[in-house]
Structures are given as C-alpha cells and as structure tokens.
Chains A and B, each alone.
Chain A
Amino acid sequence: MYSYLLPEFTVKRLEDRCIRCRVCERQCANQVHEYDGELDRLFTTEEACVGCQRCVVLCPTNALHVQPRTADYRPNCSWTRDKLQNLKKQAETGGVVLTGSGNDRPYRIYWDHLVLNASQVTNPSIDPLREPMELKTFLGKKPDTLQVTYDNDGLPRLESGLHPNVPISTPLVFSAMSLGAISYPAYKSLATAAREFGTLFNTGEGGLPAHMREEFGVSAIVQCASGRFGVDPEYLNSARIIEIKIGQGAKPGIGGHLPGEKVSADIARTRMIPQGTDALSPAPQHDIYSIEDLSMLIYALKETTNYEKPVSVKIAAVHNVAAIASGIVRAGADIVAIDGIRGGTGAAPLATRDNVGIPMELALAAVDKRLRDEGIRHKCSILAAGGIRCSTDAIKAIALGADAVYIGTAALVAMGCTLCHKCYTGKCNWGICTQNPYLTKRLNPEIATRKLVNLLKSWSHEIQELLGGMGINAIESLRGNRDHLRGVGLEAWELDVLGVKGAGE
C-alpha cells in the first residue's frame, strides 16, 4: 500500500560543510542517509528519520540539521498533525498505534506552578557549603512509637523493634528499567552509578543477571511483576528492596510485551524463558485480585527473605489512588511507589500512554494526605515517579510528601536519550533501548556511569542549596512540609488537592 504518511522530520545538509565522511550513514539505524559513490554525495530518506539527533551530534562539521516538520497540513486546533498522521497510520496498518517514552501531551505540569520558600530576616538561611546538609533518606516502615528504657548505669536502650530500612545517600533513585527493555550497557551503567553514589537502581521485571548479584545486589530494588520473570529466592535475597509491580504510569492497566527478537541468550537466561520467545507480562498479577491477595504476596516475599527487606508496591497514579495506597499500606507494604501519567515506558499504546492515569503531583499529595489522616503515613515510605525532570521537581515532590523520587527518563537523557519516542522499534541509535549488538556498543558504560553519577551529584548539590535557602538542614524536615510550597496560576480545587496555599496567602 502506498503510504500517505508525511515525513516527521526534515533533514537539512549544508553541502558546503559536508565532507562526505559518511559518519551519519554509519550511525543511522534507520538508514536515513545513503552515500552515492558515483556522485560523491549523500542522499537522505526523510520518511525513515525519527529525529533522534544521533547524526547531528556525531557529524564532525555540524553539516546536519534535523528539525520536526510541524505545519504540513492546514493548521487545525482540533485535527492536529499528530491526529491526522495517526489516522493515516491506522488506516494503513489496522493496528494499535504504539509509542515509547513518556506522555508528551500538554497536561498541566504542577511542578511549574509550585514555587519554593526561602528564609528572610526572621529565620536564617543555611550555606550548605559551610554547614552540614543531610540528604540521607531511609526507605521503609518506621515504628509506631519509640520506647526507650535506661539500664542501671543510666544508658539508654531501645525497646521497640525496628523494621528493615534501607539508607540512601540522596533522595534520588533510578526507576525500573529492565534488562531487555534497555541494553546491558545501559542497565549496568545505572547499577554502577547507583552503587557508586550510594543510592538504588531498580531491575524492572527483567531479573538481575546472576553475575551481577554479588556486586550490585546492595544497590538493587528487584521487581516481582506480573510475568514473574527472573524471580527466584536467590534473586529476591540478593537485593535491598523487593518491589511488587502492579502498574506503570505510562500504561496503567496494561501489561508488557518484550518481543522475541529482543530476548537474547543472556536475557533469556536472566528471565528464565526460552531464547527468542516473547516475554509477555499479563495486565494484572493473576494472583492479586484484592488487597488480601496483595497482602499474601507481600508476606510471601517477606517470608522468603526472612523479613529482612522492605517490600515496595508500585502502582500507577489513577483516580482512587489515595484509597488504593491506604489499602497497600494496610496490606503490609513498607514502601508505596506511585507512578504518574508522565512516567516513561519502552513501549505502550499511544492511546493509553496519553490518556490514562492522573498527574503524579496530585496523586502524591492525595496519598500523603490520606495516609496522614488515617495515621499510617509512618508505616510506609512514598516513592514518587513519573516526569521528574530536574532537582526542583524532586524537591517539590518531597515537600508534597514523597520520601524519595524515582528518576527514569532523566537518567536516560543523561546517558544520551533524546526522547524520540521510538523505544519500541528496538533501533535506538543511542544504544539504550535496543539489543542489537552493533547499536548497544554505542553506550560505553564507563562514560554513561560517569554521566549518571554527575547527574546525581549536581541534583544533590542543587537540593542542598535549595534546602539551605529554606533554612532547613535535613531533607527529612522538608518531607510533607507543604508550607514551603505556594501555588501560582492554580485553581482553588487544585490548591485544595495539592494541600498548598496560593502565592501571597
């Protein structure tokens, strides 16, 4: 069928700069550039371009410009270019339109409507370069009370039992991205950076390769998801935290599908499935149809790990998220992870990614408030995920009630990702979301680790600066401290859900 789809990008080549080195041709997995020896010039197939900017970055003479074609059709606020293109795509294929990465629709980003406080006159601000500034965070259930007795010598003794808690050096944790969805170098870089910086990475549901367990288990959150891929007692016991994945912000209510082409020998071994077979994660966990069922799984995992590890439950932010979170805490979870509508994915139906779920800011505020009202907030830590783009998003999330935040897309961007949204094609030119050995080599784990550590370092510094400005010397004092937030340009109901005052109030 002749395709009526218009190219998404324009590829401009400045001929007076192009030296015909053919780097662009070799770097493009979509075969956009092609060298013609007869004419000694390069031709472009714009239809194939995904706008990942790999050729632009690698071109040694800056001869290339790749820009989105935005206004091909007659401008129309209702029938936008995206809508038209998707219609044509569906007419040509009869399929569900797929996409990758996170929601790019213009839903209100509440982070951009919240401002932070700073100390002036009546209370002193703190200079984090001169005074201690604590970012250390403990993930896990806290005790109901602290009972202390004194022995004959007058020395204090802690009477109350403590629950397992995992310390992290900064309230930033790499979110779940499985080996299989992302390449081994990308996966390993996340693990190495987390270990180096004293924080955690999340294995996703693709398991943790046996050879990595001893070295990286200390920094791992391991997932037990609906496909149960790679789950065995050794896997669970090698990690610091176990996470039951119920939902994902990018595709609430939907399972996962890792195509067989991506299931290489290593991935098959780790997932414990035959090589080359599709790894299908069902939409629900088929043994969890109620809070009671969830409780059974939580305690089965705790039993397996001798009650030594906190168990997290990750859900997508949906309409009744507060009630669901309350149920999760009552079911025995030590951590509740909430993934908002802007969370990323390796592959999801466009319709789901762009339309299902609620913004994380609102979900987080609602959950924190509900748990406080019910007097059970201390029974869990909250991990907020989905669309944390910078240190200020993270610090605002903590002020709204999170203990720490998950960063996924931001970490990928640090490694090279340009959010071209073509993760599901397996042709990632940056070597991140692919299993093609020619492409995965492009991600040098040494460089990527350095970049990720730098990312954590710079965000942590920025968070310290902002805390100091507020006159706070420990991140724990900011958690749920909504007095340090004010809303700008928000409506009354939004301020009400967020539990913050408007600016000037």
Chain B
Amino acid sequence: MGRVVAKPEVCIGCRLCEIWCSVAHSRSRNIIKTFLYEEKKPFPRVTVEEKLPLTFAIQCRHCAEPDCVAACIGGALFKDPASGRVVHDREKCVGCYSCVLTCPYGSIVVDPKRREVFKCDLCAGLDELYCVSHCPNEALVYVPEE
C-alpha cells in the first residue's frame, strides 16, 4: 500500500479534496445529498494547510511505524499487515485522543461534538481515491509503496 502525496507547488487551495473526502465517506456518496440532506454531517479526513500563498493537503501518511498505533490505549488503531494501511476500528475507540496528540502530521482529525476521531482509510472499499481523482490541478498523487 502506498500513500497520497501532496504537491504544494500546484495546490490551489480550493479544498475540493476535503469536499470529496466527505462525499467518499458519506452514506449516499452523492455530493448534494451528503451536504444538504444527510443527518450525520460529513467529516473530511484530509486537511488543507494554509499559509498563503502556500497551501497543501495532508492526510494520514500510513507510517511504517505509526506513533498513533503505539499510543492507542484501546487497540483501536492498528497497522494492517496485508494492506499496509493504518486502520481505525471505531468499535474499539474510547475517544482518548492519544493518537491525535502523537500524530506528527496532525492527520487524525477530531469531531469535538461527537468526540470521535477520523483518519484517512485510503478510500477502503471504493474504486478510486476521491481526493486524488477529484483534485482539479493534480496536486495530489497516489504513490504506490516501493
């Protein structure tokens, strides 16, 4: 399994990756329905960092030795040996935010209302990486593991 790499030199800061990430993780996967009609408001797992003119999108790096996994007290985060993904099991998560504190990239996002954490799952179960395929300027590219 590889990772999604950002190209800040062509990132236009439109945040469409965030929008489409939300759609990818919605119930209907219909953009209008996701944002206007679904009850559970969508939460993007990719974040566009901004210090204008610099912008770039960042999401879980799926580290080889993830700090978040080491820090997880509930065993909710684990590195899937088969796919290489760092996976978050919502059932086991106790909401302690240890992962949030340890992630060096700030790539685990928190929904404070629901006290839930979210992270990139590389669009598991979908046939494309939504942030990559919807980036209008090809500023996000998927790089397979060497």
On whether the beta carbons of B10 and A23 are closer than 8 Å, the reply is no
Please give me the residue from chain B that is nearest to A63 by CB atom: B32
- CB contact under 8 A between A60 and B12, given known A19-B36, A444-B137, A444-B138: no
Binds A, one of B13-21, B100-108, B120-128: B13-21
B86 sits at the interface (CB 8 A): no
On whether the beta carbons of B15 and A23 are closer than 8 Å, the reply is yes
CA distance in complex: A17, B55 (Å): 27
Interface string of B1-32 (1 = CB under 8 A from A): 00000000111111110011000000000011
- CB contact under 8 A between A23 and B53, given known A442-B137, A446-B138: no
On whether the beta carbons of B13 and A19 are closer than 8 Å, the reply is no
Interface string of B56-84 (1 = CB under 8 A from A): 00000000000000000000000000000
Q: How many residues of B contact A (CB 8 A)?
A: 23
On whether the beta carbons of A19 and B32 are closer than 8 Å, the reply is yes
The residues of A that contact B16 with a CB separation of less than 8 Å are 21, 23, 58, 60
CA distance in complex: A331, B11 (Å): 50
B52 sits at the interface (CB 8 A): yes
On whether the beta carbons of B15 and A441 are closer than 8 Å, the reply is no
Interface string of A425-456 (1 = CB under 8 A from B): 00000000000111001101011000000000
A26 sits at the interface (CB 8 A): yes
CA distance in complex: A61, B35 (Å): 11
Tally the A-B contacts, defined by beta carbons under 8 Å: 56
Please give me the residue from chain B that is nearest to A27 by CB atom: B14
The residues of A that contact B34 with a CB separation of less than 8 Å are 19
- CB contact under 8 A between A21 and B52, given known A60-B31, A441-B9: no
- CB contact under 8 A between A19 and B9, given known A446-B138, A447-B138: no
The minimal Cβ–Cβ distance linking A403 to chain B, given in whole angstroms, is 37
A113 sits at the interface (CB 8 A): no
Interface string of A39-60 (1 = CB under 8 A from B): 0000000000000000000101
The residues of B that contact A501 with a CB separation of less than 8 Å are none
B139 sits at the interface (CB 8 A): yes
Interface string of A339-374 (1 = CB under 8 A from B): 000000000000000000000000000000000000
CA distance in complex: A43, B86 (Å): 41
The minimal Cβ–Cβ distance linking A38 to chain B, given in whole angstroms, is 18
The residues of B that contact A441 with a CB separation of less than 8 Å are 9-12, 53, 55, 137
CA distance in complex: A479, B9 (Å): 44
A20 sits at the interface (CB 8 A): yes
The residues of A that contact B11 with a CB separation of less than 8 Å are 441
CA distance in complex: A20, B12 (Å): 18
- CB contact under 8 A between A21 and B19, given known A26-B13, A58-B14, A438-B53: yes
A269 sits at the interface (CB 8 A): no
CA distance in complex: A444, B139 (Å): 8
A484 sits at the interface (CB 8 A): no
CA distance in complex: A17, B9 (Å): 31
CA distance in complex: A442, B12 (Å): 5
- CB contact under 8 A between A26 and B14, given known A17-B32, A438-B52: yes
Interface string of B34-49 (1 = CB under 8 A from A): 1110000000000000
The minimal Cβ–Cβ distance linking B48 to chain A, given in whole angstroms, is 9
Interface string of B89-112 (1 = CB under 8 A from A): 000000000000000000000000
The residues of B that contact A438 with a CB separation of less than 8 Å are 13, 52-53
Q: Which of B34, B36, B52 has the most CB of A within 10 A?
A: B36
The residues of B that contact A20 with a CB separation of less than 8 Å are 35
Please give me the residue from chain A that is nearest to B52 by CB atom: A438
On whether the beta carbons of B138 and A19 are closer than 8 Å, the reply is no
CA distance in complex: A437, B9 (Å): 10
On whether the beta carbons of A437 and B53 are closer than 8 Å, the reply is yes
CA distance in complex: A444, B31 (Å): 26
CA distance in complex: A446, B141 (Å): 13
The residues of A that contact B55 with a CB separation of less than 8 Å are 441
The minimal Cβ–Cβ distance linking B97 to chain A, given in whole angstroms, is 26
The residues of A that contact B10 with a CB separation of less than 8 Å are 441, 444, 446
A378 sits at the interface (CB 8 A): no
A163 sits at the interface (CB 8 A): no
A22 sits at the interface (CB 8 A): yes
CA distance in complex: A438, B15 (Å): 14
Please give me the residue from chain B that is nearest to A445 by CB atom: B10
Give which listed residue, B31, B52, B134, B137, contacts A19 with CB less than 8 A: B31
On whether the beta carbons of B14 and A61 are closer than 8 Å, the reply is no
Residues of A4-51 contacting chain B, CB below 8 A: 16-17, 19-23, 26-27
Please give me the residue from chain A that is nearest to B34 by CB atom: A19
The minimal Cβ–Cβ distance linking A432 to chain B, given in whole angstroms, is 13
On whether the beta carbons of B35 and A21 are closer than 8 Å, the reply is yes
On whether the beta carbons of A19 and B19 are closer than 8 Å, the reply is yes
Residues of A87-103 contacting chain B, CB below 8 A: none
CA distance in complex: A288, B96 (Å): 78
The minimal Cβ–Cβ distance linking B117 to chain A, given in whole angstroms, is 23
- 17 sample A-B contacts, Cβ–Cβ < 8 Å, listed by A number: A17-B32, A19-B31, A19-B32, A21-B15, A21-B19, A26-B14, A27-B14, A58-B16, A60-B31, A436-B53, A437-B53, A438-B13, A438-B52, A441-B9, A441-B137, A446-B10, A447-B138
Inter-chain pairs besides A61-B32, A436-B53, 5 sampled, C-beta below 8 Å: A23-B16, A60-B19, A441-B9, A441-B53, A446-B10
Binding site for B on A (CB under 8 A): 16-17, 19-23, 26-27, 58, 60-61, 436-438, 441-442, 444, 446-447
